[in-house]
Amino acid sequence: MRRWAEEIYCDLFAAEALGPAYLASFSTFALTQAGAGGAEEASKTHPADIVRICAIHDVLQKRGLILPLAEPWSQYQDVSGFFFNMVEERTKLDRKYTRSGAPSPQVHLVLEDFVDVICEEIDQLDSLKRPLTSADLSRIGRLVDRLSKGIPIASHHDPGLIEKAKLGVKRKDLGSQEIGDLKKAVEEPRTLLWEIVNAGWVYKIQNVYPKAFNLFFESNEAPLQEKIVGWGHELEVTDKLLLKSIESSEIQRLMEERLGNAAI
Amino acid sequence: MPLSDRELIESILDGQITITPLMNATEQIGRSSIDVRLGTEFKLIRRIKQTHFDLDLPLDTLKEQVQEYTEQVHIRPLEPFVLHPGEFALASTLEYIALSRSVVGRLEGRSTWGRAGLQIHSTAGLIDPGFEGTLTFELHNLGKLPLPLFAGVRIAQIIFDRCTPAVEKYADKPGAKYAKSLEIEDTRFYASSRTSPGRGGPPGRAVEILNGFPYLLAQSCRKGEKPDDSRGQLFQTLRAVS
């Protein structure tokens, strides 16, 4: 039970830090890794996937991160629909346990007490503690655009400042103060980890995963194995882009912390 | 003529020049250049027993031999990579750089590091129009003291010029060896310096083609013809071997 608690704690921590991307990521993982017993099978070390998904779903709901499922997150449902349906089935599962009289430790653990306790604990952490806003969504959209051009997303422009600067740069009488302001406008604040990961998932769901379905139906005569390798390569390229973004963003954070923005 | 600070900002705003992350534009954008930072990947040259690379070997074997010759080092943020006197290492920019087809760049060192004896590149400082990716530094410590290098340090600068738009983007050029790279690529000198397709291919065929090429090209130009299929194939073969 202690080990299960650790696993659930990690799940909730990740959900808190990464938002809906973690639910999409874990659901995909569970979908591909499900053992013979499927999502309901637990082991000594890990609770059943369905329980973990319920817990992640709960914490996201509590934070207002998936209700309502706004675009582009609603598309996670396409990928993890199977598990989302299972979440719907959760009450039936509860009922099943109650009727049979068998103990339902997993369901009880997650749904009754544990989530609240952990949420309180996680509240102490300095991470995403507010519902997503439309500004968040449009920033994620811009990051997805950048990814589609193959550009890392460790930082991003402020579109408002850019538009203003486009007008300012045309002025003939630019002095050092104005040039300084223009430089500030093209400066890029760092992208936060949860933004990178969420943009990465949205990009994959919109652009990379649909191609996986085509592998089976396209008329191309190439062997399936070869096509899967090609598709896997594309996925790898995206992951490298995301890892590079995370690393650069982290370097920027550490440098700002240590030296202050003016000195870096 | 190199672009000035105003033109550099204009080009960034227009998307002619992309440099990301641009952490501190106030410091990085100079009067006629933009500073770039050191990344986290390094490649060191190892001492190996091999006396030379046999260019007649198949490309895959050569590639493996070159990989054995280099050692990859990844440093964590705030952890130094120490370049000892006389040592040579490949490194990359932290920034991803993309140029439009009408901008060309030139990588240069920065005075602070030059005074410490650090050479940023040995020979390859040109950034082609349409280039996209991270740039590779050819670091060489010419001084007498070990140099601790940290990721994120402003180590080099790029000077930009305008040019008439190149027809082909660097990444679209057949055989563009280092396009869209996010990592340090090993040298692929063998792909440029082979004069035969290697064992298993018709011996001397590439040399024969290379020798005959100037004559065929001159003939095409004189006639003002578009290359026919066989010449198109010849172009492709030449691009593959050269």
The CATH number for B84's domain is 2.70.40.10
Q: How many domains does chain B have?
A: 2
Cβ of B13 within 8 Å of Cβ of A162? The answer is yes
Helix ranges (DSSP H) in chain A: 2-18, 20-33, 49-62, 76-88, 90-100, 105-108, 115-122, 134-148, 159-168, 176-186, 193-203, 209-217, 224-259
Q: Please tell me which residue, B220 or B128, carries the higher pLDDT value.
A: B128
In single-letter form, the type of residue at position B18 comes to T
pLDDT in tens, A155-189: 998 888 898 899 888 888 888 888 999 999 999 99
Per the model's pLDDT, the better-predicted residue between A31 and B65 turns out to be: B65
Mean pLDDT of B52-66: 79
Chain A 174-233, residues with CB within 8 Å of chain B CB atoms: 174, 179-180, 182-184, 186-188, 190
Closest CA in chain A for residue B154: A264
Q: State the nearest Cα–Cα gap between A188 and chain B, in angstroms.
A: 5
Q: Are residues B66 and B184 in the same domain?
A: yes
Is B142 or A215 the better-scoring residue by pLDDT?
Answer: B142
The more confident residue out of B242 and B3 is B3
> B208 and B112, same structural domain?
no
Say whether residue A259 is in contact with chain B using an 8 A CB cutoff: no
Residues 6+ away with beta carbon under 8 Å from A250: A193, B77
pTM of this prediction exceeds 0.80 = no
Q: Are residues B112 and B177 in the same domain?
A: yes
The active-site residue, picked from B41, B138, B168, B185, is: B138
Instruction: Select the more confidently predicted residue: B194 or A3.
Output: A3
Q: Which of A165, A255, A261 faces B13 most closely, judged by CB atoms? A: A165
Residue A167 in tokens? 């007008």
**Residues 146..165 of A with a Cβ closer than 8 Å to B: which?**
150-152, 154-155, 162, 165
How many CA atoms does the CB half-sphere of B144 hold within 13 Å?
A: 0
Residue B229 pLDDT > 80? no
Q: What distance in Å separates the CA atoms of residue B81 and residue A55, rounded to the nearest whole number?
A: 43
Give B4's contacts in chain A (Cβ within 8 Å).
none
Element housing B91 (H / E): strand B88-93
Mean pLDDT of A238-263: 85
Interface test with A, best of B78, B96, B100, B181 (most A CBs within 10 A): B96
- Together in a domain, B26 and B138: yes
Q: Do residue B26 and residue A180 have CB atoms under 8 angstroms apart?
A: yes
- Angle (CA) A238 A161 A190, round 5°: 40
Q: What letter represents residue B164's amino acid? A: T
DSSP-assigned letter for residue A75: G
pLDDT score of A68 more than 80: no
pLDDT-above-70 percentage for chain B: 71
Identify whether residues B111 and B42 lie together within a single domain: yes
**Could you list the residue range(s) of the whole structural domain that residue B135 is in?**
5-192
- With a pLDDT cut of 90, the percent of chain B lying above it is 47
CB contact under 8 A, B21 and A188: yes
pLDDT confidence of residue A83: 41
Higher pLDDT, A57 or B204: A57
Q: What's the CA dihedral at B152, B156, B160, B165 to 10 degrees?
A: -70
> Is residue B102 domain-shared with residue B119, that is, in the same domain?
yes
Residue B49 sits in the same domain as residue B119: yes
Active site residue B87: no
* Distance between CA atoms of residues A48 and A52, nearest Å: 7
Please answer yes or no on whether B40 and A241 come within 8 Å at the CB atom: no
Domain identity same for B146 and B211: no
**Confidence at A223, pLDDT banded by 50, 70, 90:** confident
Between chains, do A251 and B152 touch, taking CB under 8 Å as contact?
A: yes
B135 shares its domain with B43: yes
Shortest distance, CA B50 to any CA of chain A (angstroms)? 33
* B103 and B133 within one domain: yes
Show residues of chain B in contact with A241, CB under 8 Å. Answer: 182
Q: How confident is the model at residue A21 (pLDDT cuts 50, 70, 90)?
A: confident
Quick check: A87 pLDDT over 50? no
pLDDT at A66: 58
Find the range with the poorest average confidence among A10-24, B23-37, B108-122: A10-24
**CB pair distance less than 8 Å for B9 and A262:** no
Average pLDDT over residues B222-237: 45
Same domain, B41 and B144: yes
Could you tell me the two tokens for A225? 């194995």
Yes or no, beta carbons of B21 and A249 under 8 Å apart: yes
Domain boundaries defined on chain A: 2-122, 134-155+190-263
